[in-house]
Amino acid sequence: MLVKELAAFLDAPFEGNPDLRLRSVASLEDASADDLSFVGKGRAAKLATESSAGCLLVPPDFHNPAARTLIRTRDPRAAAALAIRKLHPSPEPPSGIHPTAVLGPGVVIGSRVHIGPHVSIGAGVHIGDHVSIGAGSVIGDYVHIGEGTVIHPRVTLYAEVTLGRNVILHSGCVIGADGFGFVFTNGTYEKFPQVGRVEIGDNVEVGANCTIDRAALGVTMIGEGTKLDNMVHIAHNCRIGRHVVIAAQTGLSGGVIVEDYAVIGGQVGIGDKAVIQSKAVLGSGSGVLTSKIVRGGQVMWGTPARPLKDHLEQLAVLSQLAKKRRK
């Protein structure tokens, strides 16, 4: 792809050689003369002067004393993501059903669908157009899979799960297993039947080995555009809003509500029925107590989670106490 073609695609101005052919996207450190790279924040500007990249995606105020070929854009990282789709397109699997796949009665399959080896699909499943289902996946009865969804190998969807359009489920996901619901009676734990469902909205991506439990009653819901990292656990009856980001090894207990645009770091634990309001941020390793309300826009850290300023002040006090004890 030529520099001028990429600039036109990004609707961004360029400087330098318009006919330079770009073959791939690489980091500043590893890029060569036919690679595209991008300049983000911090050390990236310094690295850019030493990089061998043929073309750079840079912010509008980037200084260009060496008259390098570059494309100016307000968000170089976002522009790089678009460029990767052009320069590194994902291969489309061939449409068709592998002969080892097993389909139950009443399955409806759209056009240009790929169903890989040893896939098991239950009764009454509806599969939209341009869906890909990887090898060894198990799709339970009456599941609905929206158009353009990609299910990687070894994913399990229990019965009555609903996936929106353009959902990505990575390997090892288990969606719709029973929630952890038990009633203690007469000295033993009796299972509370989990008869609810899971609904996942459009453009959601779920990382490898995530688990999303069905509701005990009602719906466990993941909103449009939300992204879950690897090994995230969403318990029964949780409701995750739109465009929420949750990093790896985080666990949500039953009935948690996370509102739109919240950001949750890695290894966060959230107790039953807590509420994380819109645009709140939970730092990595935080612990949110049962029924706690984290106010919208707050940045919280620590266990129990508290405002970042308070958390840092307490760390400073503990540091001083340690010094005094040594004295």
Catalytic residues: 236
Specify the length of the chain in residues: 327
Close Cβ partners of 52 (under 8 Å, ≥ 6 residues apart): 31, 32, 33, 35
Close Cβ partners of 325 (under 8 Å, ≥ 6 residues apart): none
Phi/psi at 263 (5° precision): -125, 125
Token output for 139: 């799709």
Token output for 93: 């699997």
Asked if 86 and 9 touch (Cβ cutoff 8 Å), the reply is yes
> Is residue 187 exposed (0-12), middle (13-18) or buried (19+ Cβ within 10 Å)?
exposed
Q: Report the C-alpha dihedral over residues 141, 143, 147, 153, rounded to 10 degrees.
A: -70
Residue 59 preceded by cis peptide, ω within 30: no
Asked if 108 and 89 touch (Cβ cutoff 8 Å), the reply is no
H or E, element range at 307: strand 306-307
Q: Which neighbouring-strand residues pair with 260?
A: none
**CA–CA distances in Å: residue 247 to residues 46, 139, 239, 250, 286:** 29, 26, 17, 7, 12
What is the DSSP code string of 227-284?
EE-TT-EE-TT-EE-TT-EE-TT-EE-TT-EE-TT-EE-TT-EE-TT-EE-TT-EE-T
